[in-house]
Structure 1
Amino acid sequence: MPKGDAIIIGVNLREANLKRKLREHLHSLGFTKTDEGALRPPGNGKEAIRTLHSAQREERLIASESFVLRAGAKLMHHFASGSEVKPEKISPVLERVSSSTWQSDLFRLAALSWSVPVSNGFGRRLRYLVWDQSNGKLMGIIAIGDPVFNLGVRDKFIGWNSHDRGARLVNIMDAYVLGAIPPYNSLLGGKLVACLLRSRDLYDDFAATYGASRGIISQQEKKARLLAIITTSSMGRSSVYNRLKLHGTEYLKSIGYTGGWGHFHIPDWLFTELRDYLRYKDHTYADQHAFGQGPNWRLRTTRAALTALGFKDDLMRHGIQREVFISQLASNATKILQSGKGKPDVSSLQSVNQIADMALERWLLPRAIHMPNFKYWKSSDLIDLFGNQAQLLRAQVEQEQLLDATQRN
């Protein structure tokens, strides 16, 4: 057989196997096809969304096994049991997280407990632990980072064209991690944590850290000001972020929904094979992944691989629309973002302590009275949220407890 024919057959076999793996994976998640050939998700409820993220989350937990083994048990004492939470004494405080510290390990461990995997962020980043000073336990976590470049609902709300966006996107950040940890989430602590986005503390931290930063894509010096933060609900419509007002001030505003496009339903193992296929085809996207080489490299790489395999773009439309919110730190944020002119009016920004006092009165204290079940939560219950790592972590915690008891005796 001529050598050239052997190569053609090899490519065809590779393509056929990759197509089969892709179809089998999508079927395992519950996707079906519409009459037009587009993907139809198994549902839009919270359980359906968790199921769609299950493969991605399983991969994340498996990849974190050595981390959980090294650090998990030693950090579990930072999580509260319900009996340790006294709602009337809750006193939130922010701690900035630095890389390669035990605080960064705690941030990572807390994020691993969530049912929908969180991003690692990219570019400019500010990460925080939200502590309850009254008991020294972790209430929640916050991380803001460089924004998604293409987000139609955001650009429409602001009134941007492509030139405006390129010139002034530096003044926006995305909250890519935002939430409360059990049992504080049962007390509507997620609302309190979300309100902290619009705090004087975050505004000042950003100004000190990135106020004179250089744009990664444009490579131009830009006097960045944190005018607004965008966040997106991971579970479709958000009951936590909606109607977030304190004393007449709006802390988060719903601005619409995403279009239901993305790549979260393509897990790492499958993405690696798609990337290898592009590399085999000598496609530039296979290894063009440095930030600054264009928006969302992984999305474009996945799309390029699917196109090369003969699939339509419809396989990128997973159909899960997420609600998008904006937190405007400057009261004139939209006007400045539209025109590029003006001085930010941040006179209404409050400190973390001031916001916490209002949020406690508005949400947490009434919730504690009407729904006191948070008291029965045990910090060890958090271990069950770590999926395939739960058994390993529980054994580590029990070993640590046994060691502590032996040393005390």
Structure 2
Amino acid sequence: MIDRHALRQRVLAQLHEQGFSLQDGRLRWSGSVRNKAQLRAFHQLACQHQIERARKALERHEPQLLAHIANGAEIDPARIAPRLIEVQPQTSHEQLFRYARLHWSIPVSAGYGRRLRFLIWDDGHDRLMGILGLADPVFALGSRDAWIGWTTPQRRARLGNVMDAFVLGAVPPYTHLLGGKLAALAAASNEVRHAFERRYAQRITLIANRQTGPLALITTTSALGRSSIYNRLTFQGQRLFHSAGYTRGSGDFPFINGAYHDLLQLVAEESAATAKHIHWGTGFRNRREVVLKALGLLGLPRDLIYHGIAREVFVVPLASNTQAFLRGEEQQLQHYDRPFATLAAYWKQRWALPRAQRDPRYRSFVRESWRLWNPAP
């Protein structure tokens, strides 16, 4: 049995360690959402917990995984040749994807429900450039829903045509060559929506009880305040990422540290399962619900779920009539034609080569600095 008093004190201590204070039943963060260094420090505890949880599965493979990361000195920008690889379960690609996402500055989930994962690979150097992960979106997201113009019935009918990018970015040394923009371009590519259609288009959705159909929209949120990757990212004169507004500054990530396992155990011991469909499992619907139930059981205000750290929401329409389609006003999507090879060539000429000439710091990156665990003596 979980000791409620001890767990309550532990939760409060970890919130304090992350810079929160409790005022009038709400969390107040001492940092600034405009300060990226403070945001990274805020997420450090949860990130370290994720790394420790992954240690058993990945630590012994780290030398082989690191070998896929380039040293900056070996990169010839003219030879960079990006390729998009869809990650399949139970493969070395999946292992590399999991390892790479542990290096993000914010805790990255494994994604919910439907998932598509990709490696961005440099065939010119046989090294990993970046990763892209898509998963089911949340049911209600005010800024996204307002951008689409959804009513609740419309959202229920067409939410299956939306995916959320839960991780998107480059790994060093390609980060120094603006590889994050390539990862963002990849999200809008033909190859991503074709992968979705192969895997999910013919499936019957549990919410709407209809075939999903094609992918119409990708959403994502900025990780560290204002995004230098998504803002003003264009291709052939079209803006790809549109700012739809901001989140309400709520969520479970202040609790996904070492205490979450005990919160889940407490809720499992003292609350009934709430999954609404047999195919969704027999437990609880999501982490947010677990945290809310646990807060109540610990005698803490449920409003602690509101941490006040808002994120900018971006939408990536994949067709010229995405909004009308998602509202059910049109039945066929008029998809944009964006082959990944064309996007990659554009990125290389527009960003990578000019950056390499202006700023040679990418050459100083040493992959050993990316090591997560100290090698055994």
Please give the TM-score of this superposition, normalised by the length of structure 2: 0.92
Q: Deviations over 1:352-382 (max 9, x none)?
A: 1101111122222221122111111122222
Measured against aligned partners, the alpha-carbon deviations of 1:113-168 in whole angstroms (never above 9, x if no partner) come to: 22222111122211111111111111001111111112111111111122111110
The alpha carbon displacement at 1:305 in A equals 2.0
Change (3 A) 1:351 1:273: same
Deviation, 1:249, is 1.6
Residue 257, structure 1, aligned to residue 246, structure 2: yes
1:94-128 deviation digits (Å, cap 9, x = unpaired): 11111111111111111112222211112221111
Following superposition, the deviation at residue 62 of structure 1 comes to: 1.3
Of 130, 133, 137 in structure 2, the residue corresponding to residue 147 of structure 1 is: 137
- Whether 1:173 and 2:163 are equivalent positions in the alignment is yes
**Could you list the per-position Cα deviations for residues 162-205 of structure 1 after superposition, in whole angstroms to 9, with x for gaps in the alignment?**
21111100100011121101010111110111111111111212
Which of residues 323, 344, 358 in structure 2 aligns to 1:356? 344
- Gaps of at least 5 residues in structure 2 are none
Instruction: Say if 2:215 and 2:318, in contact at 8 Å, map to a contact too.
Output: yes
SS at the partner of 1:324?
Answer: strand
1:322 to 311, 314, 319: 311
Q: Is 1:25 aligned with 2:9? A: no
Which position in structure 2 is the counterpart of 1:273?
A: 262
Q: Tell me which residue corresponds to 2:222.
A: 233
Amino acid at match of 2:30: P
The answer to whether structure 1 residue 302 and structure 2 residue 291 are counterparts is yes
SS of corresponding position for 2:327: helix
- Aligned-pair CA distance for 1:47: 2.3
Matched, 1:133 2:123: yes
What is the distance in 2 between the residues matched to 1:198 and 1:239?
17
Deviations 1:231-269 (A, max 9, x none): 111112211111111220222111111111001010354
Structure 1, 202-211 or 273-282: larger mean CA deviation: 273-282
Runs of 4+ in structure 1 deviating by more than 4 angstroms, as ranges, are: 285-290, 292-296
Question: In percent, how many aligned pairs have the same letter?
Answer: 37
Cα deviation digits, residues 2-50 of structure 1 (max 9, x gap) = xxxxxxxx99xx443332222111111111234x332111312222222
Aligned to 1:73: 63
Q: 1:63 corresponds to which letter in structure 2?
A: R
Q: Distance in 2 between matches of 1:225 and 1:324?
A: 22
Q: Is the 8 A contact 1:31 1:40 kept in 2?
A: yes
Matches within 5 A, 1:9-20: 14-20=3-9
The residue correspondences of 1:374-389 to structure 2 (distance < 5 A) are 374-383=362-371, 386=372, 389=373
Deviation at 1:295, TM superposition (A): 9.4
Distance in 2 of aligned mates of 1:278 and 1:313: 14
Partner SS, residue 339 of structure 1: coil
Instruction: Give the aligned partner of residue 28 of structure 2.
Output: 40
Worse overlay, 290-299 or 370-379: 290-299
CA 280–123 in structure 1, closer or farther in 2 if over 3 Å, else same: closer
- C-alpha separation in 2, matches of 1:303 and 1:157: 28
Relative to structure 1, the CA distance from residue 207 to residue 142 in structure 2 (aligned partners, 3 Å threshold; closer, same or farther) is same
Q: Within 5 A, what are the aligned runs for 1:328-339?
A: 328-339=317-328
User: Structure 1 residues 287, 174: CA separation in 2 closer, same or farther (over 3 Å shift)?
Assistant: closer
Do 2:121 and 2:128's aligned partners in 1 also have CA atoms closer than 8 Å? yes
2:151 to 161, 164, 187: 161
Quick check: 1:196 aligned with 2:168? no
Q: Deviations over 1:48-93 (max 9, x none)?
A: 2222222222221111112233321112211111122222222110
Do structure 1's residue 372 and structure 2's residue 364 form an aligned pair? no
The 3-state SS of whatever aligns with 2:259 is helix
Correspondence for 1:110: 100
2:81 corresponds to 1:88: no
Looking at structure 1, the residues matched to 250 and 207 of structure 2 have their Cα atoms a distance apart, in angstroms, of 24
Q: Where does residue 52 of structure 1 map in the other structure?
A: 42
Structure with bigger helix share is: 1
CA distance in 2, matches of 1:186, 1:361: 15
Counterparts of 2:284 and 2:148, CA distance in 1: 19
CA distance in 2: counterparts of 1:147 and 1:68, whole angstroms: 28
Q: Give ranges in structure 1 of 5+ residues lacking alignment.
A: 1-9, 397-409
Does the CA-based 8 Å contact 2:273-2:282 persist in structure 1?
no
Are the equivalent residues in 1 in contact too, given 2:275–2:282 (CA < 8 A)? Answer: no
Asked whether the 8 Å contact 2:273–2:284 carries over to 1, the reply is no
Assess, with a 3 A threshold, how the Cα gap between structure 1 residues 279 and 242 changes in structure 2: closer, same or farther: same
Deviation at 1:337, TM superposition (A): 0.7
